[in-house]
């Protein structure tokens, strides 16, 4: 989880850095090879100004002669860039752009005086525009009087204003009077209002709009939602994990309680015996010694068969090392109960020491004892132990022959040793060699 948080932090920093470097630098260029550049003048209003346009490479050059006319008092000339020749209602959506970058050279050919330049972005909106009347296309513009045309002009679109005379002439309501850039169908340059008569030249080298690949506010909102979503998912997972651990703990407590109850019941059966193992409730070696000496000794020939199963829990030290000795003690108790469930009332389970146990099986031959040992081996391997891992046991099986019980136990111990060296989790059985 900590690695995931770190990766999310690195991703956030990387995304913010990339946005800072490139996120607000989307470029859209207006050029003569893609759009129509048209020379305009005041002759439509019965003026006398003359204008023409020529092209040099990617640049458009407007030559203009401003002349006053008795019929029109505000001479002008300029360039109108049509976005769509066929349909004036279809323009450019520039709402994701924040700056227009103008590389223009504007001079008076007959004077050193700096000329004034007007720049317009015309927007079509069916709420106030008519496709057959260009005058109804909204004027979003600026009038430059002190511009240094030798430098590239960077004009923030938010600085453009809707011209007051256009609002008045077209009776635009207040809710539609602000700048709009959602459907720009004309981009226009014109000589400044009140410009004197004379010869002018406007060279349009490039018109570029600089915009957002993604708005900073949008990016921050998305990152915020990402972190909030991560926090919610993390919290849900933590709650689920806590509940799971609580349920597991409760399950283990119930299991231990059940195990203790079973052990108590089993201990009642052992109450008649003088000695038993304090941890597991199984008989200890002292308790079984008298029984063996009485029933099965080398001086009195046994009246019944006797087999012994010597079993040892594989890799039990790992359990103590990984889960602690308390867990190890609990598993020894549980192991005792798992074994006792499979035994007869006449069988005797003895804790021989540590994780080693002996099972004495009266009236049982070697084959029967082997089958019991194999059943115990499978039971231990398939059982769901409280520490959540698999336990296995190795077993050695021997039948009492012409020998003492201690010699039989020694043979079973050797067979257990053989089972461990053969790979563990197996049963080895062998008969007494009387030759």
Q: Tally the C-alpha atoms within 13 A of residue 132's C-alpha that lie toward its C-beta.
A: 0
pLDDT average, residue stretch 355-360: 95
Residue 247 sits in the same domain as residue 292: no
For residue 336, which of 294, 296, 277, 287 has the smallest C-alpha distance?
A: 277
Contact 23, 213 (CB under 8 A): yes
Report if residue 323 sits inside a domain.
yes
pLDDT at position 272 is: 47
Location of structure tokens 């989307």: 26
Residue 261 sits in the same domain as residue 198: no
Other Cβ atoms closer than 10 A to 110:
12
CATH of the domain at 94: 2.60.120.430
What is each CA distance from 381 to 39, 47, 324, 357, 424, in whole angstroms?
A: 94, 105, 21, 16, 12
DSSP string, 254-279: HHHHHHHHHHHHHHHHHTTSS---TT
Report if residue 15 sits inside a domain.
no
Residue 261 sits in the same domain as residue 307: no
Q: Which of 60-74, 180-194, 217-231, 263-277 has the lowest mean pLDDT?
A: 263-277
Residue 134 sits in the same domain as residue 30: yes
Q: Which of 214-228, 267-281, 349-363 has the lowest mean pLDDT?
A: 267-281
For residue 343, which of 427, 287, 277, 269 has the smallest C-alpha distance?
A: 269
Residue 39 sits in the same domain as residue 142: yes
Report if residue 178 sits inside a domain.
yes
Residue 397 sits in the same domain as residue 301: yes
What is the CA angle 72-73-74, rounded to 5? 100
pTM: 0.50
Tell me how far apart the terminal alpha carbons of the chain are, to the nearest angstrom: 68
Report if residue 19 sits inside a domain.
no
Name the DSSP class of 21: I
Report if residue 18 sits inside a domain.
no
Q: Of 213, 242, 261, which marks where a domain is finished?
A: 213
pLDDT band at 1 (very low <50, low <70, confident <90, very high): low
pLDDT average, residue stretch 77-84: 94
Report if residue 232 sits inside a domain.
yes
For residue 60, which of 29, 39, 83, 91 has the smallest C-alpha distance?
A: 39
pLDDT for 299 beyond 90: no
Residue 35 sits in the same domain as residue 115: yes
Residue 98 sits in the same domain as residue 50: yes
Structural domain for 124, as ranges: 24-213
CATH of the domain at 345: 3.30.70.270
Domain count, the chain: 3
């Amino acid at each position: 989880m900590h690695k995931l948080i770190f990766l999310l932090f690195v991703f956030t920093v990387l995304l913010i850095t990339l946005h800072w470097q490139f996120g607000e630098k989307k470029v859209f260029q207006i050029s003569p090879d893609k759009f129509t550049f048209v020379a305009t003048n005041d002759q439509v209003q019965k003026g006398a100004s003359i204008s023409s346009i020529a092209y040099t490479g990617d640049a458009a050059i407007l030559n203009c002669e401003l002349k006053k006319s008795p019929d029109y008092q505000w001479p002008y000339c300029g360039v109108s860039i049509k976005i769509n020749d066929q349909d004036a209602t279809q323009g450019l959506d520039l709402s994701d752009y924040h700056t227009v970058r103008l590389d223009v050279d504007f001079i008076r050919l007959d004077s050193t005086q700096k000329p004034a330049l007007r720049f317009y972005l015309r927007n079509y909106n069916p709420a106030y525009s008519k496709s057959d009347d260009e005058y109804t296309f909204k004027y979003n513009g600026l009038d430059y009087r002190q511009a240094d045309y030798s430098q590239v002009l960077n004009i923030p679109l938010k600085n453009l204003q809707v011209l007051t005379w256009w609002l008045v002439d077209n009776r635009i309501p207040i809710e539609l009077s602000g700048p709009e850039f959602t459907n720009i169908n004309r981009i226009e340059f014109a000589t400044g209002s009140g410009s004197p008569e004379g010869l002018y030249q406007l060279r349009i080298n490039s018109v570029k709009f600089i915009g957002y690949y993604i708005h900073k506010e949008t990016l921050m909102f998305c990152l915020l939602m990402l972190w909030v979503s991560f926090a919610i998912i993390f919290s849900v997972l933590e709650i689920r994990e806590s509940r799971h651990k609580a349920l597991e703990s409760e399950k283990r407590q119930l299991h231990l309680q059940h195990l203790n109850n079973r052990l108590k019941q089993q201990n009642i059966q052992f109450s008649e015996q003088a000695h038993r193992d304090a941890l597991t409730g199984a008989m200890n070696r002292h308790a079984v010694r008298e029984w063996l000496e009485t029933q099965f000794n080398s001086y009195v020939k046994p009246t019944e068969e006797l087999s012994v199963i010597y079993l040892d829990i594989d890799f039990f030290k790992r359990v103590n090392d990984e889960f602690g000795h308390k867990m190890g003690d609990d598993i020894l108790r549980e192991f005792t109960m798992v074994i006792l469930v499979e035994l007869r009332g006449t069988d005797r389970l003895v804790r021989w020491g540590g994780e080693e146990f002996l099972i004495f099986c009266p009236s049982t031959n070697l084959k029967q004892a082997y089958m019991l040992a194999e059943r115990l081996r499978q039971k231990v391997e398939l059982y769901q132990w409280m520490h959540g891992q698999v336990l296995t046991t190795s077993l050695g099986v021997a039948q009492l022959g012409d020998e003492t019980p201690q010699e039989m136990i020694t043979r079973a111990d050797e067979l257990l040793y053989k089972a461990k060296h053969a790979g563990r989790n197996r049963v080895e059985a062998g008969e007494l060699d009387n030759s």
